[in-house]
Amino acid sequence: MHTLLNLRGSIPEFVLVTDGKYHDSNVLDVIVPQLGAIYMMDKANVDFAALHRIQMEDAYFIIRAKSPLKYEVKEQNFNIDQSTGLRTDMTIVLTVAKSKKLYPDKLRLVEYYDTDKDLNLVFFSNNFEVSALEIARLYKNRWQIEVFFKWIKQNLVIKKLWGHSQNAFKIHIWTAFVPI
């Protein structure tokens, strides 16, 4: 199940039920980006063509970077407070020919150290309007998606399917969301 969750209300705006072979990044081809929206995704969704489409629709994304991400630094912000967890704030362009062709615009790369989890996180985004710390804080809200899926597993009682067709499965899932 692939979900677009509006973090303002924790209600799914979009649900796509697929089989396990459907790659997460393919969902980006189905979603129509909304003007000014910010899409936060894990690194399984790195698809530079789809991300460029989000950019062209004047929407934003924040995504965990896959390693190794090959890039050229165009600009670097050296005025960062490392006590906040920030480590890097750079403007980059992709250097691998295929990636650069699919996403020819500049990206922002933000590196953040999470002291609670002892984890170094690297994000890239097309949002140059907010601070680097805000990029990291916005991405932290993506955890609400994980909380939502945990809630589904714990609260949506699906003991027996009413049917086995794709449509029957979708109806069953959607009706499980409706409170009694």
**Does 25 fall in a domain?**
yes
pLDDT (tens digit per residue) in 148-179: 777 776 776 666 666 777 777 777 777 766 66
Distance CA 118, CA 116 (A): 6
pTM of the model: 0.78
Residue 95 neighbours by CB under 8 Å, 6+ apart: 70, 71, 72
How many domains does the chain fold into?
Answer: 1
What is the rounded average pLDDT for all residues in the chain? Answer: 83
CA dihedral 31, 94, 126, 83 (to 10 degrees): 130
Q: Which residue has the higher pLDDT, 44 or 111?
A: 111
**pLDDT average, residue stretch 117-141:** 92
**Does 145 fall in a domain?**
no
Token pair 């979900």 in the structure block, residue: 3
**Does 113 fall in a domain?**
yes
Token pair 């994304």 in the structure block, residue: 61
**Does 74 fall in a domain?**
yes
C-alpha to C-alpha distances, 120 to 18, 27, 65, 139, nearest whole angstrom: 32, 27, 11, 13
The residue range of the domain holding 34 is 2-134+153-177
**pLDDT for residue 120 is more than 90:** yes
**pLDDT for residue 180 is more than 60:** no
pLDDT (tens digit per residue) in 25-78: 777 777 788 899 888 888 877 889 999 999 999 999 999 988 788 999 999 999
